[in-house]
Structures are given as C-alpha cells and as structure tokens.
A and B are shown apart, each in its own frame.
Chain A
Amino acid sequence: MWRGLWILVARAARGPCRPCTRQGSGAPAPGSGATIFALSSGQGRCGIAVIRTSGPASGHALRSLTAPRDLPPARRACLRLLTDPRSEEPLDRALVLWFPGPQSFTGEDCAEFHVHGGPAVVSGVLQALGSVPGLRPAEAGEFTRRAFAHGKLSLTEVEGLADLIHAETEAQRRQALRQLDGELGHLCRGWAETLTKALAHVEAYIDFGEDDNLEEDVLERADSQVQELEMALNAHLRDARRGQRLRSGAHVVVTGPPNAGKSSLVNLLSRKPVSIVSPEPGTTRDVLETPVDLAGFPVLLSDTAGLREGEGPVEQEGVRRARERLEQADLILAVLDASDLASPSSCNFLDTVVTSAIAQSHNGNSQRLLLVLNKSDLLLAGDLDLSPELPPHLLLSCLTGEGLDGLLEALRKELTAVCGDPSAGPPLLTRARHQHHLQGCLEALGHYKQAKDVALAAEALRIARGHLACLTSGGGTEEILDIIFRDFCVGK
C-alpha cells in the first residue's frame, strides 16, 4: 500500500510547482516501473566507488554491462569486465553483486557495481547505465523512499526520512545551481523557454485554432523552433560527451564583513597566497577559487568580497557574486573580526547571514555554517563576555595560528557530514542526470516530428518540456496559458 508513496514525493521534490498541471504532464514518469541508478559512495577520496541500481530492469542492466556473461549468483560478489553496451568499449574490471528482490535494500531487484574510483571510470559507468532502456538517474532520496515503500524501513527509521529528503533535495538544488551557473544554465533556460513557447503555440492551435483568428503560420513557426532546438541539443550533447570540466569537491565559501580577515584565512587553509591581503577594506572583489585538501576531503575553497554596500560598480558586482556563491555553498565559513564585534557591519552580518543560516539549519536545511572569530590576538581577556548572545563560534588568529587546530577539527567533522552523504548529488551524477534528460528531450522532439495528429505532437512536446523542467524547474500549465493569452487574441 505504500508503493505509490515515493512517486508523489519525487514529484513534489522537484519543486513547489504542482506535479500534475503546474508541472506539466510531460515530466517523464518516475513510474514504479522505472529503474534508477546512482553513485552511492561518497565523494571523498576513495579507491572504490559503488554504483547501485534498483528496479525491474536491474538484471537487464547488469547483463548489458557484463555481456556476454550471465547474471552472477544472487548476493555473491563476482569479478566482471564492464563494457559500454553502445560502443562495446571496456570500462573497468569491477566487482558486481546481484540482489534479486524482495531480499534487497529497497525490496526491488538491485545491482551493485564496485568500480575503481576515478572520475573517468565512474562517469563512464554512469553514462553506460543511462543508455540502458528503462534506466534513469535517481531523484533525491529515491533509494530510501523505495525501501520505505516496500516496507524495508521501520516507522522509527522513517522518522528521519522527511529530514533526509529535505536535506537531499536542498543538496541537489545547490548542486544543480552550481552546474547551471554560467553558460550551461543559460543554455538550458533558453531551451526551456523556446520549448515552452513552441508548446504554447501548439496548444493554442488545438484549443483556439478553430474559432479564433490565430495567424496562419502558428504551427510552421513551432515546427521551425523545434527544429532549431533539436539542432542545438544535438550539438550540445555531442560536445558534452567530450566532457565538461567539473568542479568537484565540497564547496566551502568564506564570507564576512569587509576586512574581517577572510583572505588571510583562505591563504592559511590553502597554505599558499591565493588572495591579496591588505588592511584596506574591499580588497577582494571577485570570487577566488582554489581546490584544497582539508582533513582528507577534496574541497573547493572560495574567497569572496566582504559583504557591504559596495563602493563603485566593480565592488558591487563582487558583493553580488559573493551572495550568489553563498547560496551554493555546502559549508559556510563566516568570519568576523573578534575585536570589532560591536561595529554596524559585524552586527548586520550576524543578523542577516549567520542567524538566518542557523535558523534554516534547524528547519532541516543541510547547508552548514561555522562561525570563526578572527584576530583573537587583538582580544583582551574578558572582551568576549560583552557579547553573550553570540552563536557557537571558534576563536582563531590567522596571524599567530592560534586556534587553527580547533578549526581544522571542526572542519573535519563538518566535511565528513557533507562529503559522506552519497546522495548529495555528486557532480558526476548531476552530469548523468543532465545528459539523461537532454537525451530524453531530444527523443521526444523526434516523436513530435513523426506525430500523425496534433494532439500526439503536443504530447511529444509536453514530454520534451517535462525533461527540461527536471533541469530548470518550472514547466506548469499556467505558464502555457499565460503565453497563449499574451501572444494571441483568442476567445469570443
């Protein structure tokens, strides 16, 4: 009786839009028939990465990648050569396991691939799985939800599920934001816009074409838009297969009011002079990124401009970028000048950034924050007692290095939590997901061209749009109606 549960959560998880009308019908059905796959080991340094599938096509997927061998015996680890079923290129020698349902983690047929942990191998296996018919990347928390749906979790375990799903959704959202930041996101949104408009025009042709004077060439225009979109997607997918640069690792963003010592902290943590440090507030203007290894975890450390009403357009832009980066962070290092806590800029920062992040984390938001009070060397004994309302914090002096051990220990704890969560949407999975939906969109556009009647053609566009909506969110019926009534004088 719980079978249907995860579906609705999956639909709801895609955003606040209504799954049915508002989401647009075409969203590829995460039906109970679908088989899902995901990288289920964390993104820390590891020799072995575990990729899992769940659903009826698991056996087929396992056979496809290990052809011509047959399924291994149930629940027994076997060594197999993995090949890409499309190109027949070898991918890796891997341990594979076969768990026929219901005796598996989710209760469905499951397969596990233990591959060598390099990004190229993992990415190759994920893409090979994505090409097997009936398989798609898992939505946030979907494995757990399936386990729940099949009665594999007790009610107590379920208690944590809501929080887990919330956290995973948040993490995937941030991951998607990072991926969609910049050119790729711009492209996706542009495609979604074109497609929505083409669909709106076809829908207008269906609902109003008979009685109202729509322009004669509504359908032809939609056709040419679809054709252009098809070409763009094709070109992009060919390009993407060569591999786009991935910014992997946990995203740690250093923020704070101007002149709190953010850049000093970044330089201290990365043990090299990444940022220019000067006593002048507003020295850092752009976002400076540096990949570092913190407590054994791959981390992308970002130094950002101090948050204030910037002077001049360059600094203002820097502050805007800093705020944007903050949105995408897995872990925020909030830095304040310990000797300057009473100043307006410090208070303002505490009120806006720190307290709101802490409040949100109580609501199950998985974004984490460490408050660091820098320049502890300038403090006199008892100074801090003046501000007893401070949230939990760490004292540090970038100058003397005092408190660094404590900070590293705290960072280790936080990063274990961030990186240890396999479902936090590692970039490889995001990319597989990306490719899956773009491919799905492209296929649907192909059906559009072959459709025998307009209703079928519109259905193909709805499905195509559903795929893009999975990447960009949005995609409701209301949007379509808005375009119809904006572009056409319909109605009587």
Chain B
Amino acid sequence: MGSRSSHAAKIPDVDSIRRETGFSQASLLRLYHRFRALDRTGKGYLSRLDLQQIEALAVNPLGDRIIDSFFPDGSLRLDFPGFVRVLAHFRPVDEEEDGNRDPKEPEPLNSRMNKLRFAFQLYDLDRDGKISRHEMLQVLRLMVGVQVTEEQLESIADRTVQEADEDGDGAVSFLEFTKSLEKMNIEQKMSIRILK
C-alpha cells in the first residue's frame, strides 16, 4: 500500500481529474495502475486493440460498442483522463455530493441521467439521439445471434419500439428510453462498487 501511494504524484493532472470525475485518490491510483497494465507497450495511451484484449469485453455482445464509447469522435488514442472520464459513469451515486453540489458546475458523470445516457449511446449507433428500429435490430442480432429468425427479431424490435415510443416517430429517443427504464434501478445497476 505504501509503495503504491508514492506513485500518486505520477498521475498527470490528478487534481483536475479528481474534480471532474469525483474519484477518490485511491481509486484514481488503482485506475491508473489498471490503465498502465492495459497499455502493454507502454505508449502512454490505449488503443482499441488494448481494450479488445480484455476477456470480459470479448465475450460481451456489445463489447465493441463499449469500446467505441471510450473513443468519442473517432479518435484512436485514449489517454488517462479520457479513460477515467468514461469510467466515472460507473461510480456509485453519492448522495452527499448532489446534496450540496454547486448547481453551476456540470452535473457529475455518475448521475442517473449520465448513466442512462451512456447506456443509450451504446444503442444509438449514429448518435442522432434516437434508437431507430434498425439500430435495435442490430443490437438484437448481436445479442441473440442466429438462433432467432429474422422475422421474429423484427417483431421484437417492433414491439420494443411500440412499447417505448410515445411520440410516434418510430424510434426511441433518449427521453423515451429513460422512461421505459424508469423502474430500473439504474443508480445501482450501473455502479461498480470498487470505483468509489
């Protein structure tokens, strides 16, 4: 433990990252170690390939989408602040903070809205703010593979749209998405406890 904390200083811009993401020093340290472990060649950033090596992501049908979400705007490099920023979505919600947070500051990355938005972006491929029927079908194909006929997949997608769609545009907007998941305990489900 003691040897670890000596590395704390090595993280670039520790303070600004902490302010932005709300991570504690210790978790940042842990994440930094993880970051460096993932970065095999020691190049100082992560590439797509580095993330694809993670086994849990490899078995995940949406693994590629998740990796995509680490690389916004089509960039190919993921530096440590970016890495932490994405992971901050999964920080458990802390009531103490939203109780006395200055409203002028941007809301923390781990708020329910931002968690949901993260999930939403996994499904929203073209980032037009809507999950279209087509995008849904793609996800379904990833999730259930070839075992279900195309026709059935389409009926599932139609049904999902029908359930969630309120304004009748045939797609699920973010608002409708949040509404359909309003009973889901997102704060808890999309939290990883080690990222305190």
Indicate whether A and B interact. no
Query: Which residues on A are within 8 Å of B, measured CB to CB?
Result: none
